Structure 1
């Protein structure tokens, strides 16, 4: 058994794809799924591989007024492991992303004997993204 994907609601699939391309994104599949009991309502779905083999499903509804796009406690964040948090921050800032909290060093032996360095940023629809670096 393994994690298959994480699904994120989005208001704009193209904007989400452009943002996650910054993390090495590659589109796997795109489709439209119609909702049987709601004529005219559908989901635009995109599966994107990010950071190796991590899959995100972007779900853009045809009826966004009926779908809350905030986490409301149901979804907290995506975490991407990187080799160097500071280097990734510099890379993302050079491409206009500037929604970071300052990186923090933490002792989390459960992840890495030397602890971790992490930061959080916001994606294009307000989703939280954690960048984590394992320290030796």
Structure 2
């Protein structure tokens, strides 16, 4: 059995790096950590989500938008937030439009949804103590 401690990073390819950095840094508050080059060209940019979780941004994406949610492949990234009400206020203040309003999800967690400039879907979720995930973890641990 493979031992995994967390998801280290999610990688996205984007059309316009500067537009993407404006969104993730200036609107969501992520910090640029480092840039890597290959053959003298920008290859990728690391943005900090937490000290051990990152978003890798690759430039020069083809097409105008990320694949629709029904397409095979990456569907969305979920960012855990401590307070969904505060998150909604911060998104509003930053001018970030919610593509789905705040709702109590089928799993018992509060969530809202946004998109980045390339159409990558981002779920913002407040994990609730009585949601399905904590109950499932308790069952797994009980074994």
TM-score, normalised via structure 2 length: 0.71
- Partners of 1:74 and 1:118 lie apart in 2 by 22
Q: Return the offset for 1:51.
A: 4.5
Structure 2 vs 1, CA of residues 68 and 95 (structure 1 numbering), >3 Å: closer, same or farther?
closer
Aligned position for 1:26? 31
Q: Does 1:118 align with 2:111?
A: yes
Structure 2 vs 1, CA of residues 60 and 44 (structure 1 numbering), >3 Å: closer, same or farther?
same
Aligned position for 2:140? none
Gaps of 5+ in 1: 35-41, 109-114
The number of residue pairs the alignment matches comes to: 121
Gaps of 5+ in 2: 130-143
3-state DSSP of counterpart to 1:70: coil
**RMSD of aligned alpha carbons:** 2.4
Aligned position for 1:8? 12
- Partners of 1:52 and 1:80 lie apart in 2 by 14
